[in-house]
């Protein structure tokens, strides 16, 4: 098998429920570079007894949105970790134009010479609605089901634990509508400027995850990642 190329920074952009996290996990398996999610960073940072951690915790305690400045600081700290030297996957970051401007400045100043790959995953609203409202979680093992596309064998119960499945409070049509309004106002304006990166691509996130996909002349046999995403990420 040919040696894997070093992908460099990968930006996965898209609406809530478009599959950024799912696809990021598959890309982690392929290139062994870290997935960096601002949601995960927020949860981890607020538990840290550091000036940044205390500021994040206080903002969340007051029910406020964590500011762009604090989010950028969290990402900056994470990008200093040694596991990012060969690349990383930014899952849903940047979310605002302020965050995008900060990231542009950082990427411009980097010395690695690796290309920046920005992929916008596009899914129509009805598909997003089915993904979000159909999602059910097992409270014991954490397995995620979807009553429309990946239902459990026994309706309402986990196949592995037999526990009653639960639905997150924000996995509703009303909550999705609110998240989409925020997305259209704050994040959608980030998508088109992302085309200026070394590789800017749009791909459809509606298709099912393929079990196997050959990338670039059959160099790699890649389990899991969707064809549209891999074509976007590897075509550079």
Which of 57, 106, 130, 179 is catalytic? The answer is 179
135 is catalytic: yes
Supply the pLDDT for residue 28. Answer: 87
Query: Which stretch of DSSP H or E encloses residue 117?
Result: strand 117-122
131 is catalytic: no
- The pTM assigned to this predicted structure is 0.75
62 is catalytic: no
Supply the pLDDT for residue 217. Answer: 24
Q: Which residue has the tokens 């409202």?
A: 133
Residue ranges of the chain with per-residue pLDDT less than 70: 1-7, 111-113, 192-236
20 is catalytic: yes
Classified as helix, coil or strand, 35 is: strand
Tally: H helices and E strands in the chain: 9, 9
Contact 48, 126 (CB under 8 A): no
Supply the pLDDT for residue 112. Answer: 67
Supply the pLDDT for residue 4. Answer: 55
Query: What structural domains does the chain harbor?
Result: 8-124+190-234 (3.40.50.300)
Q: 98: closest CA among 67, 121, 128?
A: 67
Which of 20, 46, 78, 201 is catalytic? The answer is 20
């Amino acid at each position: 098998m040919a040696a894997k190329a070093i992908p460099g920074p990968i930006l996965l952009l898209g609406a809530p429920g478009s599959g950024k996290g799912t696809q990021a996990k598959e890309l982690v398996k392929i290139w062994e570079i870290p997935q960096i999610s601002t949601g995960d960073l927020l949860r981890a940072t607020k538990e840290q007894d550091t000036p940044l951690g205390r500021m994040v915790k206080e903002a969340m305690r007051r029910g406020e949105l964590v500011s762009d400045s604090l989010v950028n600081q969290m990402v900056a700290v994470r990008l200093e970790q040694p596991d990012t030297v060969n690349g990383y996957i930014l899952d849903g970051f940047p979310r605002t134009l302020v965050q995008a401007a900060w990231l542009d400045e950082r990427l411009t100043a980097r010395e690695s010479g690796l290309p920046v790959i920005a992929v916008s995953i596009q899914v129509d609203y009805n598909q997003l609605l089915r993904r979000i409202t159909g999602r059910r979680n097992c409270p014991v093992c954490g397995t995620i089901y979807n009553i429309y596309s990946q239902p459990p064998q026994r309706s309402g119960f986990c196949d592995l634990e037999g526990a009653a499945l639960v639905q997150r409070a924000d996995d509703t049509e009303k909550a999705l509508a609110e998240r989409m309004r925020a997305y259209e106002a704050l994040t959608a304006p980030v998508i088109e400027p992302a085309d200026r990166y070394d590789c800017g691509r749009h791909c459809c996130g509606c298709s099912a995850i393929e079990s196997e996909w050959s990338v670039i002349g059959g160099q790699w046999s890649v389990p899991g990642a969707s064809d549209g995403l891999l074509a976007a990420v590897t075509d550079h």
